[in-house]
Amino acid sequence: MAQLEAQKKLKIILENYFVGMKAPVAWCTSAGPAEILRALGFEVYFPENHGAMLGATRLAGKYIPKAHRAGFSGEICSYLTADIGAWLMKETPLTNAYGLKSIPKPDMIVFNTNQCREVAEWFNFYGREFNCPVVGIYPPRYLEDVSKSDIDNVVAQFKEVISVGENVLGKKLDPHELEKVVALSYEGTQLWKQVLDTARKKPSPLSFFDGTILMAPIVMLRGTKICVDFYKETLSELEELAKTQQEDSNQLRLYWEGMPIWGRLRSMAQFFNDNNSVVVASTYCNSWIFDDFNPKNPLESMASAYTKIFINRGENTKLAYMEKMLNDFDIDGIIFHDAKTCFNNSNNRFGLPKRLKDSTRIDTLTIDGDLNDLRFFSDGQTQTKLETFLEQLKSKKRISV
Is the Cβ of residue 17 or residue 271 nearer to another protein in the bound state?
A: 271
CB of 361 to another protein, least distance (A): 12
Whole-number Å distance between alpha carbons of 210 and 5: 12
Is the Cβ of residue 316 or residue 384 nearer to another protein in the bound state?
A: 384
**Range 294-297 contact pairs with CB under 8 angstroms and sequence separation of 24 or more:** 294/182, 294/186, 295/179, 295/180, 295/182, 295/183, 295/186, 296/179
List helix spans (H) across 57-170.
60-69, 78-88, 93-98, 118-130, 148-169
Is the Cβ of residue 245 or residue 384 nearer to another protein in the bound state?
A: 384
CB of 396 to another protein, least distance (A): 8
Is the Cβ of residue 171 or residue 396 nearer to another protein in the bound state?
A: 396
CB of 128 to another protein, least distance (A): 35
Is the Cβ of residue 102 or residue 388 nearer to another protein in the bound state?
A: 388
CB of 395 to another protein, least distance (A): 5
Site residues (vs another protein, CB under 8 A): 363, 367-368, 376, 378, 380-382, 384-385, 387-389, 391-392, 395-396, 401
CB of 211 to another protein, least distance (A): 25
| H or E element in which residue 282 lies | strand 277-282
What is the phi/psi pair of residue 297, to 5°? Answer: -145, 65
Whole-number Å distance between alpha carbons of 91 and 399: 50
CB of 256 to another protein, least distance (A): 18
Q: Please, which residues have CB within 8 angstroms of residue 386's CB and are 6 or more apart in sequence?
A: 271, 275, 335, 365, 367
Is the Cβ of residue 5 or residue 387 nearer to another protein in the bound state?
A: 387
For residue 148, count CB atoms less than 10 angstroms from its CB and return exposed for 0-12, middle for 13-18, buried for 19 or more.
exposed
